[in-house]
């Protein structure tokens, strides 16, 4: 705008100053307790540690170890695989539920449904993970139930203390985080578009594929990222139900920090993991953005 008057500019500056001063307490907090510590982790990942003393310096040894030692490679690739699988399972299972609540539940009852879906999320995470151990164990609910009705002759052992248990438990833990963004995206869809599609002779399935699904994509993308990124760093689930074959990279980071006293290596592992996760998320966003644009 060329003819912005001086008064308008002054008022805009006043607004900026007020906004800044108001946002400064939470901003300072985030800078001091989030940005600074995260930067510190990056710096420390280039240091070395000898028993309890950290030695400042610059070495790429930690990264070399993080990327080349077989134990770290195994954990990292397993973590990525588990996170991808958990994300896929969670989002695919969540979509129909979000669709049902958005399209088949009466408007005045939607809030109640969302409340119902979020309740399990608000109960103790530790206890939920532990209860999956009760359900999936050798003498667990599932095995005794299946034995009782005669479906199996001896308890299934592939359920607990391995990667399967980690995937089931995480898919359960992250369910509401996948359902809510998809639900919000579905709610935004203008219903008259669907009627138009029907009127123009499209079948219900084709309407879903060509109208509903593309318009719901922002929600699906959000759900994928919200589930995928934190799942990589989950520590409780693998340590409670994963057994030795279900340990993930977060467990190794914890061990390096708290038990082996090798903070630089732990930091390098954490930075490597976050870089890979960040790169995958950016790639995913680029891919879906192009896909979304192609749909319009």
Residues between 166 and 195 with contacts to other proteins, criterion CB under 8 A: 172, 175-177, 180, 183-184, 187, 191, 194-195
Only segment of 66-74, 153-161, 254-262, 283-291 that touches other proteins (CB under 8 A): 254-262
Whether 142 contacts 135, CB under 8 Å = yes
* Residue 250 binds to other proteins (criterion: CB under 8 A): yes
**Would you state the structure tokens that stand for residue 108, as one six-digit string?**
């005045």
Cross-strand pairs, 272? none
Residues of this chain, 215-234, that bind other proteins according to CB under 8 A: 225-226, 229-230, 232-234
Cross-strand pairs, 49? 54
Which residue, 86 or 225, is less far from other proteins as judged by CB?
225
Report the b/e string of 43-64 with b at 16+ CB within 10 A: ebbbbbbeeeeeeeeeeeebbe
Give least dist CB 292 to other proteins, A. 20
Whether 238 contacts 247, CB under 8 Å = yes
* Residue 12 binds to other proteins (criterion: CB under 8 A): yes
Total binding residues toward other proteins, as defined by CB under 8 A: 95
Whether 94 contacts 174, CB under 8 Å = no
Whether 177 contacts 120, CB under 8 Å = no
Only segment of 70-78, 91-99, 154-162, 210-218 that touches other proteins (CB under 8 A): 91-99
Give least dist CB 190 to other proteins, A. 10
Whether 45 contacts 268, CB under 8 Å = yes
Give least dist CB 294 to other proteins, A. 26
**Would you state the structure tokens that stand for residue 240, as one six-digit string?**
């409670």
Residues of this chain, 25-64, that bind other proteins according to CB under 8 A: 25-27, 29-31, 33-38, 40-41, 44, 54
Give least dist CB 245 to other proteins, A. 19
Only segment of 69-77, 159-167, 213-221, 266-274 that touches other proteins (CB under 8 A): 266-274
**Would you state the structure tokens that stand for residue 47, as one six-digit string?**
């240091």
Whether 104 contacts 152, CB under 8 Å = no
Which residue, 31 or 286, is less far from other proteins as judged by CB?
31
Residues of this chain, 99-128, that bind other proteins according to CB under 8 A: 99-100, 103-106, 110-111, 113-120, 122-128
Cβ count within 10 A of residue 285? 13
Q: How many CA atoms lie within 13 A of 248 on its CB side?
A: 28
């Amino acid at each position: 705008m060329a003819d912005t008057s001086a008064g308008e500019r002054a008022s805009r500056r006043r607004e900026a100053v007020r906004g800044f001063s108001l946002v400064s307490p939470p901003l300072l907090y985030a800078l001091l307790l989030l940005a600074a510590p995260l930067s510190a982790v990056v710096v420390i990942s280039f240091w070395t540690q000898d028993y309890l003393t950290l030695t400042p310096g610059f070495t790429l040894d930690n990264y070399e170890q993080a990327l080349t030692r077989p134990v770290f490679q195994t954990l990292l690739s397993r973590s990525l695989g588990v996170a991808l699988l958990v994300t896929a399972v969670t989002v695919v299972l969540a979509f129909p539920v979000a669709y049902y609540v958005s399209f088949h539940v009466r408007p005045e009852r939607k809030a109640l449904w969302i409340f119902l879906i979020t309740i399990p999320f608000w109960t103790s995470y530790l206890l939920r993970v532990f209860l999956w151990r009760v359900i999936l164990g050798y003498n667990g609910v599932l095995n005794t139930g299946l034995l009782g009705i005669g479906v199996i002759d001896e308890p299934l052992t592939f359920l607990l203390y391995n990667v399967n248990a980690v995937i089931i438990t995480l898919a359960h833990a992250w369910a509401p985080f996948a359902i809510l963004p998809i639900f919000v995206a579905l709610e935004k869809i203008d219903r008259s578009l669907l009627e138009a599609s029907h009127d123009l002779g499209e079948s219900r399935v084709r309407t879903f594929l060509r109208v509903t699904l593309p318009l719901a994509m922002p929600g699906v993308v959000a759900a994928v990222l919200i589930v995928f990124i934190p799942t990589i760093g989950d520590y409780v689930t693998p340590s409670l139900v994963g057994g030795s074959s279900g340990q993930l990279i977060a467990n190794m980071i914890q061990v390096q920090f708290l038990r082996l006293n090798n903070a630089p290596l732990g930091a390098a592992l954490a930075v490597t993991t976050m870089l890979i996760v960040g790169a995958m998320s950016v790639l995913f966003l680029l891919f879906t953005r192009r896909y979304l644009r192609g749909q319009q």
